Structure 1
Amino acid sequence: MFPSYRGQRNFPGWYWAATSAELVGYESWAELSHLMRLDADPEVVGVASPPFRLSWRYSGGRRRIRHTPDYFVRRRDGRAVVLDVRPDELVEPEDAAKFAATAVACARVGWGYERVGVIDPVQAANLRWLSGYRHPRVGREPVAKCLRAAFTQPQGLLAGARAVGDPIAVLPVLFHLLWHRELAVDPVSERLSAATVVHPAPVAAREVEGDADASAASVAG
């Protein structure tokens, strides 16, 4: 499906997606970066690559035109999005026409469509780092529970890890929680470091508040 040969200019491979516990293919570093971005998005429940091939002729044209999008994405709310990954500077007029036709075809069946370029290098670097801790075996719950409590109030990444225990044992679990957005960092303009501020993810914070409200109501009752 993703051929490899001497002298090729792109970099195909397979990526294990934590979202679906399945291998998903990619054909370039740009595609891999977006695949990691999708895998780390809690609103995404599945990604397929390559999803399908479109084939059509323009009115009066004899030449058959084909296009295979890069990814089919299923979101938690049931919506579907078809994704093409192509850096802006590599989009030729013929490519743009194919992307436009694909967008029309997707709209007809109720799917969204996006053509995306290259991810910000800092975001890509952080995703690559955190992806190494995405497997469920890393998320040891006793340590994860302590980390959630430690970062109830925002503090530095390493300081919070040390408050829980030996950083060698604690940091992998912390990176796992960051990958799965159970904890969050402030908008990152630089690579993750010991001083990066970690805080509860917005959804996690709402759940904590909800539990607190429920407990208060129970006591009041």
Structure 2
Amino acid sequence: MAPQPALLDHAPVGPSSADVPWSDTSTLHDLARMHAISADAVGQLVMPPDWSARWTTAWRFGRTLVGCAVRDLGEVDLLSSVPVRRFSWRTDQWHRPGLGYLVSTERHHGFESFEEELLLLAADFSCSLVEALAQPFRLRFRSVNGSVEHIPDYLLLTDGTPWLIDVRPSERIEPEDDIKFAAAAEVALVAGWNYAVVAGWRDHVVGLIDTFSAGRRRLTDPLQLQEQLLLAAEDGPQPFGTLVARCSLEAVARAHAMHLLWHRRLGLQITGPLTDASTIRRSPSRRSTSGSWWQ
């Protein structure tokens, strides 16, 4: 099974960081509830010494399906691939597919459920996403019960190590799913990727990221309100209402504060929904792309 990557061990900077993370230095572990793959599921995998040559993946390039052994994943042209399985829309289906726009890639990406849509939005918030590949490949592996297939939900390419991610609410994870997740984790380890199963989100995270996303697009700033916000934040953590009131035009400053929160130049202590009483600080990194999700 793949070891825990450094991202999951990273502790955010700031007061009471062990208990209350800041949004500007938050990691995937701070925001998401991760499913722990059981040792029993790993034990169900059939992994002879040459398993990475026996286990295969199938990738789609245009209309062409191309097979690749797990051991050769480093040779795949990831950016030229398309989803291995088409998204479908039907009036009688239970899940909710759609297209979500990401600022990081400046285009829409497919999702098959509300949970997957949340993952895309959260990945966009990381400020280091380069590409999001939905349903990137079909994995065929062997378990003690025979041949099994699994299509991971996303391969997220970042400015660091790629992330292979499955999204499944914890109450919907069955034993057979756990075996598939265990296999995907082994594949990610061989390919040099990180792997995670996102089973939910921590308290207030969904609402906060959705709120920040209102300011994610480029903003003109003729009144230099962003500079005023950052200068005021130099005085240390303070209530959101106090911070914006120190600007020359408070109502407009609120919109620019959202923009700075999304781009992690300001940080919010994740203790509840955003209100005037929420604690805000200037990011210690002082970088507009200071996403620590993937580090």
The normalised TM-score by structure 1 is: 0.82
Name the counterpart of 1:21.
106
Q: CA deviation at 1:105?
A: 1.5
- Which of 206, 225, 229 does residue 143 from structure 1 map onto? 225
Give the 3-state SS of the residue equivalent to 2:120 in structure 1. Answer: helix
Alpha-carbon distance change, 139 to 13 in structure 1, aligned in 2, over 3 angstroms: farther
Q: CA deviation at 1:102?
A: 1.1
- Which of 160, 168, 176 does residue 251 from structure 2 map onto? 168
Alpha-carbon distance change, 114 to 60 in structure 1, aligned in 2, over 3 angstroms: closer
Q: CA deviation at 1:100?
A: 0.9
Name the counterpart of 2:239.
156
Larger helix percent:
1
2:196 maps to 1:111: no
Alpha-carbon separation, structure 1, partners of 2:131 and 2:221: 24
Which fold has the larger relative contact order, with Cα–Cα distance below 8 Å and residues 6 or more apart in sequence? 2
Alpha-carbon separation, structure 1, partners of 2:263 and 2:100: 17
Give the 3-state SS of the residue equivalent to 2:286 in structure 1. Answer: helix
Alpha-carbon separation, structure 1, partners of 2:145 and 2:102: 43
Alpha-carbon separation, structure 2, partners of 1:25 and 1:139: 29
Q: CA deviation at 1:134?
A: 0.8
Alpha-carbon distance change, 202 to 54 in structure 1, aligned in 2, over 3 angstroms: same
Q: Deviations over 1:29-81 (max 9, x none)?
A: 222222222111134333221222212344783xx53211111122323x111
Q: CA deviation at 1:121?
A: 4.2
Contact 2:141 2:148 in 1 (8 A): yes
Regions of 4+ moved over 6 Å: none
Contact 1:47 1:74 in 2 (8 A): yes
Q: CA deviation at 1:23?
A: 1.4
Alpha-carbon distance change, 121 to 24 in structure 1, aligned in 2, over 3 angstroms: farther
* Structure 1 runs not aligned, ≥5 long: 206-221
Q: CA deviation at 1:124?
A: 0.5
- Which of 80, 86, 97 does residue 179 from structure 2 map onto? 97
* Structure 2 runs not aligned, ≥5 long: 1-85, 288-295
Q: In the TM superposition, what are the counterparts of 1:196-207 in structure 2 within 5 Å? A: 196-204=278-286
Alpha-carbon separation, structure 2, partners of 1:31 and 1:80: 17
The CA RMSD measured in Å over matched residues stands at 2.1
